[in-house]
Amino acid sequence: MDQRIAKLYEKVLAMPVPPNSVPQALFELGSASQTVHHAIEELYQQNEQLEQVQEVLGAEYQRYEELFEEAPDSYLVTDAHGKIQLANHKAARLLNIDKNYLVGKAIVNFITLEERQYFRNFLSQLSQSGRNQELLIRLQRRNGELFNTALTVAPSYDNQGKIKELRWLIRGITESRRVELVHIKEECDFSDRPIHSYSKGDIIPLNPQIIWLVSQGFVKLTTLCESGEEVLVGLADQGMVFGSYMTSLNTYQAIAMSDTKLVSIYVSEIIDSPNVSHTLVPKLNHRLRQTESFLAVSGFRRVQDRIYYLLRLLKQEFGEKVGNETRLSVRLTHEDLANACCTTRVTITRLLCKLKHQGKISFDSKRHIIVKDID
């Protein structure tokens, strides 16, 4: 194009009396050609950068694919209904079936007939709880051989909070180990212990030698800051633990937010009994992670960011699916939310009204918050 423009310009100059507009038009055409030339060069550079990024992503994908395939344990990826989407070589060998034939099959097909209904119930409850779960169950290889397994499943969610896929870790265990694990679960369900009942608003006594396990209800955990204001540091619902033994705060208070039933566990039992410690360690870990999350709320400089992050945390911890929306099972007052966000009740009320006006939250008839678009 540049060469053709140059030749045209030479011919015009060689004309006896060239029109005045023709050289100017050729100059403008040449300038436009240069602009197009520079744009093409930039596109070439961007294309090279995209190719480099594609190579990096390809290498990363290859790396993770190798990690998945060569993992020492058996892994499966299924949809929310248990239909297998991915399987590594270890899983194929464990089930005695070619890996290509695994994809598209339902994992329930490898469960013994006697336990299939139990497994389906487990899947249904998993979609409601939203937490990693472990299941002891017997699988059946393609040749009909039965074997004991411990399944650990981790759900993955989409932007609407629906389960997108399930990631399964499968480990074969011996019969003696299965009996041992079942024995641990049966022995440490604490169902035979005395129940301590508290009404809504009751202050729960704390003993440094006792850990409370929530059997029913909700408990609010608070402390006092230097200005004397109450600060929300945690919430405990069914299956969670709390107690003054688990904190170094000088001021620590537990208040029942509803009719609550608790089971007491002595710290000495955790130290002396491996079975008790095996049951409580995940619960203690859960409380630690929740406390850190509440602490992170106060780290945001803007109050609107604090309430937004807090609602996300509450949705994850205490959310119940109601159609396409999520209802917070715990009912927190504006004062409670203000204490968690280190601000005033008036500010929280204003921000909640703004979120409601934006369609991100709503309230049911019992004033429970329904989270619609907090991700």
- pLDDT tens profile 25-79: 666 767 777 777 788 888 888 888 888 778 777 777 677 777 777 777 889 999 9
Do 221 and 353 lie in one domain? The reply is yes
Last residue in a domain, options 66, 91, 112: 66
Residue 280 domain boundaries: 196-371
Tell me how far apart the alpha carbons of residues 94 and 124 are, in angstroms, rounded to a whole number.
25
CATH number at residue 91: 3.30.450.20
Do 223 and 290 lie in one domain? The reply is yes
Do 181 and 291 lie in one domain? The reply is no
Residues in the chain: 375
163 DSSP β-pair partners = 157
Last residue in a domain, options 187, 211, 233: 187
Q: State what percent of residues in the chain have pLDDT above 90.
A: 15
Tell me how far apart the alpha carbons of residues 103 and 145 are, in angstroms, rounded to a whole number.
21
Token pair in block for residue 94: 């464990």
Cα 275–chain centre separation: 28
CATH number at residue 337: 2.60.120.10
Using the Cα atoms of residue 272, residue 262, residue 289 and residue 231 in order, give the sign of their dihedral: negative
Do 228 and 354 lie in one domain? The reply is yes
Q: State what percent of residues in the chain have pLDDT above 70.
A: 86
Instruction: Please report, to the nearest 10 degrees, the dihedral formed by the alpha carbons of residues 166, 172, 174, 175 taken in order.
Output: 40
For the entire predicted model, the pTM comes to 0.50
What's the number of domains the chain is made of? 3
For residues 93-106, one letter each, b for 16 or more C-beta atoms within 10 angstroms of the residue's C-beta and e for the rest, the string is ebbebebeebeebe
Do 47 and 116 lie in one domain? The reply is no
Query: What DSSP state is assigned to residue 106?
Result: B
Do 127 and 50 lie in one domain? The reply is no
Report the chain's C-alpha Rg in angstroms: 31
Do 109 and 249 lie in one domain? The reply is no
At which residue do the structure tokens 């472990």 appear? 134
Do 181 and 225 lie in one domain? The reply is no
Do 220 and 360 lie in one domain? The reply is yes
Tell me how far apart the alpha carbons of residues 286 and 291 are, in angstroms, rounded to a whole number.
9
Last residue in a domain, options 146, 164, 187: 187
Asked if residue 326 lies in contact with residue 320, where contact means CB atoms within 8 angstroms, the answer is: yes
Stretch 193-198: mean pLDDT, rounded? 88
Tell me how far apart the alpha carbons of residues 154 and 76 are, in angstroms, rounded to a whole number.
11
The pLDDT tens digits of the residues spanning 273-305 come to 777 887 888 888 888 888 888 888 878 888 889
Query: What DSSP state is assigned to residue 321?
Result: E
Do 215 and 268 lie in one domain? The reply is yes
| Residue 255 pLDDT class (50, 70, 90 cuts) | very high
At which residue do the structure tokens 């050289």 appear? 23
Cα 74–chain centre separation: 22
Tell me how far apart the alpha carbons of residues 370 and 245 are, in angstroms, rounded to a whole number.
34
Do 104 and 212 lie in one domain? The reply is no
230 DSSP β-pair partners = 224
Do 263 and 158 lie in one domain? The reply is no
